Amino acid sequence: MDVELRDIHKTFGAVRANIGINLKVPAGTIQGILGENGAGKSTLMKILSGFIRADCGEILLDGKQVIINSPADAIRYGVGMLHQDPLDFPPMRIIDNFILGQSGGMFFNRAAATRDLKKLADEFGFQLDPNAFIDTLTVGERQQLEILRLLWLGASVLIFDEPTTGISATQKQKLFAALEILAGQGKTDMSEADQTAVSQWAANVHARIREAAARANLPPEATAKCSAASGA
Ligand SMILES: Nc1ncnc2c1ncn2[C@@H]1O[C@H](COP(=O)(O)OP(=O)(O)OP(=O)(O)O)[C@@H](O)[C@H]1O
Ligand SMILES: [Mg+2]
C-alpha cells in the first residue's frame, strides 16, 4: 500500500517533535527513517499507526485521505506498528497472544488460528511453538510473533521502531529476510533504526528527519501555521 504523510505537525507542550514532515513511501518497498535522538521519528510513526494524533497534517493511503484515531483504526486500514518493546502479555501462550485483536478474541477458533500461525511462521522461517508461554521467548522471538500477528490481522504496512535493538545476529538475519519477503509481496515496511542497521536492509533511506539541533533554531511560524490550519 502506498503511504503518504503531508505536512505533519506535532508538539508536546513546548517541544516541537514534528514540524511539517512530508514523506512518501511506495508499496512494496523497505524504507528507513533516520534522525538523531529526539528528532521525532517515533512520534511520526506513532501518528501513522494511531497511537498519537497529529496536531495537523494529512495521512493518505493508496492516495486516499484517512483519519486514524487509534491503533485499531490503523489496523483496519492495514497499518501495524511493532514497538521496540512489544506490547504483549507475558502470562499468555503464544497462540492466545496471536489471537488478540481478532474479533471474537479468545473465543476465536483456536485450531484454525494455530494452523494459520504455523503456516505464517513457516513462510518466514520463524520457529514458534503455539503452546509455549510468551515469557519464555527472547525479544527477537516476541518480535517475530508480533510481525505474524499484525500480518494475520491484515497489515500491509508494517512499521518497526528500532527493530534490531536487543536481538541476536541470527534473528537480525531472519528479520531482514522477512522484510525482503514482505516487500516481495507488495507490503510496505518502514523502520526507524540506527544508520548501520538501516543501511543493511533498506533499499532507500527515504526520509531523514531533520536534526533536532537545527529544528530548535527554527522560527515558531511553522507551528503557528499548523494551529491556524487546524482551527485550534
Ligand atoms: N508523549 C510525549 N510527551 C512529551 N514529549 C514527548 C513525548 N513523546 C515524545 N516527546 C518528545 O518529542 C521529541 C521527539 O521524540 P521521538 O521519540 O519522536 O524522537 P525519536 O527521533 O524517536 O528519538 P530516539 O532516536 O531517541 O528514539 C523528543 O524531544 C521527546 O522527548
Ligand atoms: Mg524513537
Print pLDDT tens along the chain (232 aa).
Answer: 999 999 899 999 888 888 888 888 888 888 888 777 888 888 999 999 999 999 999 999 999 999 999 999 999 999 999 987 666 566 889 998 888 767 655 556 888 899 999 999 999 999 999 999 998 988 899 999 999 999 999 999 999 988 888 888 898 888 888 988 888 888 888 777 655 655 555 545 544 555 443 444 444 555 555 655 544 4
Mutate to test the pocket of ligand 1, among 5, 42, 83, 218 (most ligand atoms within 8 A of CB): 42
Check residue 164 and give its pLDDT. 83
Query: What is the domain range of residue 53?
Result: 3-230
Model pLDDT, residue 189 = 81
Query: What is the structure's pLDDT at 68?
Result: 96
Domain count, the chain: 1
Query: Distance (Å, rounded) from C-alpha 9 to C-alpha 56?
Result: 6
pLDDT value at position 2? 92
Question: Could you tell me if the CB of 198 is within 6 A of ligand 1?
Answer: no
Q: Which ligand is nearest to the CA of 194?
A: 1
Report the DSSP beta bridge partners of residue 133.
Answer: 93
In this prediction, residue 107 carries a pLDDT of: 58
Distance CA 215, CA 11 (A): 12
Distance (Å, whole) CA 164 – CA 224: 37
Closest ligand 1 atom to residue 13 Cα is 4
Q: Is the CB of 196 under 6 A from ligand 1?
A: no
SS3 content of the chain, % helix, strand, coil (to 5): 40, 25, 35
Residue in this structure with the C-alpha cell 512499521, named with its chain if needed: 159
Alpha-carbon separation of residue 52 from 43, 46, 66 (angstroms): 8, 6, 15
How far is Cα 4 from Cα 135, in angstroms, rounded to an integer?
37
- Asked if residues 208 and 199 have their Cβ atoms less than 8 Å apart, the reply is no
Asked if 131 contacts 95 with a C-beta cutoff of 8 angstroms, the reply is: yes
Amino acid residing at 43: T
Measured in Å, residue 91 CA sits from the centre of ligand 2 at 27
pLDDT at 202: 54
Q: How far is the CA of 3 from the centre of ligand 1 (A)?
A: 22
Q: What is the CATH number of the domain that holds 24?
A: 3.40.50.300
43 lines ligand 1 (CB under 6 A): yes
Decide: 178 and 120 in contact? Cβ < 8 Å.
no
Could you tell which of 43, 160, 162, 211 is best to mutate to test the pocket of ligand 1, judged by most ligand atoms within 8 Å of the CB?
A: 43
Written as one letter, the residue type at 185 is Q
What is the SS3 assignment for 118? helix
Are 14 and 216 in contact by the 8 Å Cβ rule? The answer is no
Which residues are within 8 A (CB) of 32 and not within 5 positions of it... i.e. 6 or more apart?
Answer: 190, 191, 192, 193, 198, 199, 201, 202, 204, 205, 206
Which listed ligand is nearest to 11 at the C-alpha?
1
Spell 21-50 as b/e; 16+ CB within 10 A means b: bebebebbbbbbbbbeebbbbbbbbbbbbb
For residue 141, the model assigns a pLDDT of 92
